[in-house]
Structure 1
Amino acid sequence: MSDTHSRRQFAKITAATAAALTFKPFYILHAKPKVDGEVIGHGNHRYKVHQGWGNLDASQFPVNNCHEMVQDSKGRLIMVGDEIKNNILIYDRSGKLLESWGHEFPGGHGLTLWNANGEEFLFISDPNIGKVFKTDLKGKILLTIEHPSKVGAYKEADPFKPTETAIGPDGTIYIADGYGSQWILRYTPKGEFIDKFGGSGDGDAQFSTAHGIAIDYRDKANPTLIVTSRAHNAFKKFTLDGKYLSTIFLPGAFVCRPVFKEDTLYAGVCWSRLRYLNQTPNSGFVTIIDKSNKVISNPGGTKPEYRNGELQIMLQEKPIFMHCHDVCVDNDHNIYVCQWNAKKTYPVKLERV
């Protein structure tokens, strides 16, 4: 091959390369991070990641920690956080902001929706100020539950830092004191104290970070109470009047509140035990549990494995999430993930595939 021909060939290749670099296709110019669009999960519960689903203008609608999310009867997705410029952000399912309100909840943490014969209410738990609020869907405060010492249930010096509520079939209000004294407190629908159970400890009926609570209606004739014991890597089952029944052990998973959709239980995992079995920062994922209380999928985490009927340790597999604090599941079984301590990120959508 002559030098002239070689130079021509080199010039052609150089020109073609330059053109390729200059005239990038639209999809390359606007390429998203690799994780966006990735499919995660196991078995029949696999999901496409949409990281930017809930992104808003942070100068107008800032978030600090996206703590929890619920869906109302109109299909709106209601999120609570601890940014008092807008504690509540209300999205439609496309990720568009519909409404925002709330300036009174510096530790806005727990969010429970109660449908009382067609009328819907929210219960907001604030561990920073030690109060639980019942509001309407516009934010009007209808009931406030304060420190249990006011009704003789605690001593004044006992910490009360409520993290979550659940509303029983008869309207009984259950409050999980997950960052405080580890009791589950029961109140009438009017906010009158009934009793408490649990407390801090390693007994079966005790808790270590009673972070979440929910009513389990999967056995419709016999609803029960499921309570998180996060540092135990467990959910604990109780009767509605507080008698211990059993434990769902989830080794490796520091689970947040249980969320039920039909016969399936979903939960955000805030940390897993990546390093020397210690609670490790930025190691969260989502876990999904069937009606027989068997883990069937861990989006972002390792595939669940059972040996001789025993669940093996579960860990974050891909660093998609930092600290999954809650999940909300819509009617198409898509999951919306709220994160704590995650660089002020908005909710992430996991689209069921």
Structure 2
Amino acid sequence: MRSIRLAVLAPLLLASTAPAPHYAVVHGWPVLPPGRLFGPCSGVAVNGKGEVFVLHRGNRGTDAKGLATLKEPVVAVFDAATGRLLREWGAGLFVVPHGISIGPNGHVWITDTGSNQVFELTPDGALLRTLGERGVAGADATHFDRPTDVAPLADGSFYVADGYGNSRVMKFAADGRLLFQWGTHGTGPGQFDIPHALAIDAGHRVYVADRANDRVQLFDGKGRYLAEWKSPSIGRPFGLALLPGRRIAILDGGTSSGKVPDHDGVTIAGLDGREIAHFGGIGNQDGQFRIAHDIAADRAGNLYVVDIAGQRVQKFVRR
């Protein structure tokens, strides 16, 4: 297997010695109502009940004109085992929904790059809390500039990747107070060019998909730089998902020219950065991607990937 280059060595966890996993796409998953199609799918998350939350944008593309909200439901919830559609919600609330995460308490977090806001909701879509000022971009403690992802923790605190405009990662207390932040725009250690996705492991290390810098950066829980992972197989990381067995899935969404990616795929790595497996590619067939945008894992280690251009979600099971 190829190795992912570590630019700076940090205290590393031992890599798994288990055999390299193989992932196969589940044909016919999920089951949509007759005639139903998704819009661009930007986010996916799985809760502890085995429900898969797919975030999509209906007929809206990447950018919004003004602050008009999407009138159709933008969150579709599926049964992970059967692919059956369980419920939908989110109409009239979001402008350009981007990332979706689920906390240990089951609450759903959604970032909106169109409104510059972060939302906390119940699993059925009831609004609990909104952070940020609608339609106002900023770089202070109470404003965002096109935030991309949220990583909620068991104690109620949470990290936010304030990605497209501010190139920073912020940590908030459970009550919404900003505790600290780090990152500026750039290519150096601890700098970002679109921090697009977050993951937090059991050792409280923070993984950041530094998308336009073509790398994953690692930090401790206080934002201190540890290392970076960068390799041809990682490519341009759009999404991250922690897996059982001290592993992580890194989603390469490719660069795009005229909405056509030049590569797409998933790399499975140990938490020491060693590459274990890789699958996927560009295309419209099952198991292929077109601007893969986010990835999530369930408790069994099955993976779910959503596409922007492909406008779909796919399930991959470990064989």
TM-score, with normalisation over the residues of structure 1?
0.72
Q: How far did residue 352 of structure 1 move? A: 1.9
Distance in 1 (CA, whole Å) between partners of 2:178 and 2:255 is 36
Structure 1 residues 233 and 299: CA distance shift in structure 2, 3 A: same
Is 1:259 the counterpart of 2:241 in the alignment? yes
Unpaired stretches in structure 1, ≥5 consecutive residues:
1-42, 302-315
Distance in 1 (CA, whole Å) between partners of 2:42 and 2:283 is 23
Is 1:64 the counterpart of 2:64 in the alignment? no
- Residue aligning to 2:275: 295
Residue aligned with 2:38, SS: coil
- Residue aligning to 2:129: 143
The percentage of counterpart residues that share the same residue type is 25
**Larger relative contact order (Cα-Cα within 8 Å, sequence gap ≥ 6):** 2
Distance in 2 (CA, whole Å) between partners of 1:214 and 1:94 is 27
Q: Is the 8 A contact 2:159 2:172 kept in 1?
A: yes
Structure 1 residues 127 and 58: CA distance shift in structure 2, 3 A: farther
Structure 1 residues 69 and 150: CA distance shift in structure 2, 3 A: closer
Structure 1 residues 159 and 189: CA distance shift in structure 2, 3 A: closer
Q: How far did residue 238 of structure 1 move? A: 1.1
Structure 1 residues 191 and 154: CA distance shift in structure 2, 3 A: same
Distance in 2 (CA, whole Å) between partners of 1:51 and 1:282 is 25
Q: How far did residue 291 of structure 1 move? A: 2.8
Q: Is the 8 A contact 2:44 2:53 kept in 1?
A: yes
Q: Is the 8 A contact 2:117 2:134 kept in 1?
A: no
Unpaired stretches in structure 2, ≥5 consecutive residues:
1-18, 59-69
- Residue aligning to 1:285: 265
- Residue aligning to 2:5: none
Q: Is the 8 A contact 1:282 1:321 kept in 2?
A: no
Further displaced range: 200-209 or 264-273: 264-273
Alignment of 1:213-252 (within 5 A): 213-217=198-202, 222-251=203-232
- Residue aligning to 2:175: 190
Q: How far did residue 198 of structure 1 move? A: 0.4
Residue aligned with 2:104, SS: strand
Pick from 331, 335, 353: which aligns with 2:303?
Answer: 335
Further displaced range: 316-325 or 192-201: 316-325
Q: Aligned-pair RMSD on alpha carbons?
A: 2.9
Further displaced range: 289-298 or 133-142: 289-298
Q: Is the 8 A contact 1:134 1:143 kept in 2?
A: yes
- Residue aligning to 2:104: 115
- Residue aligning to 2:3: none
Q: How far did residue 149 of structure 1 move? A: 12
- Residue aligning to 1:16: none
- Residue aligning to 2:292: 324
Q: How far did residue 190 of structure 1 move? A: 1.5
Q: Is the 8 A contact 1:167 1:174 kept in 2?
A: yes
Give CA deviations for 1:39-59 in whole Å, capped at 9, x if unaligned: xxxx63212223531252375
Give CA deviations for 1:84-130 in whole Å, capped at 9, x if unaligned: 412111111211101111111231111111113xxx20110111111
Q: Aligned residues, how many?
A: 282
The residue identity in structure 1 corresponding to 2:24 is K
Q: Is the 8 A contact 2:139 2:166 kept in 1?
A: no
Greater Rg over alpha carbons, structure: 1
Residue aligned with 2:22, SS: strand
Give CA deviations for 1:274-316 in whole Å, capped at 9, x if unaligned: x9xxx96252111111132111111125xxxxxxxxxxxxxx6
Distance in 2 (CA, whole Å) between partners of 1:143 and 1:130 is 14
Structure 1 residues 127 and 150: CA distance shift in structure 2, 3 A: closer
Distance in 2 (CA, whole Å) between partners of 1:173 and 1:317 is 35
- Residue aligning to 1:9: none
The residue identity in structure 2 corresponding to 1:224 is R
Q: Report which of the two has the higher share of helix.
A: 1
Distance in 2 (CA, whole Å) between partners of 1:98 and 1:50 is 19
- Residue aligning to 2:29: 53
Is 1:87 the counterpart of 2:74 in the alignment? yes
Distance in 2 (CA, whole Å) between partners of 1:340 and 1:153 is 27
Give CA deviations for 1:122-172 in whole Å, capped at 9, x if unaligned: 11011111100011111111111105999985399x970001011235322
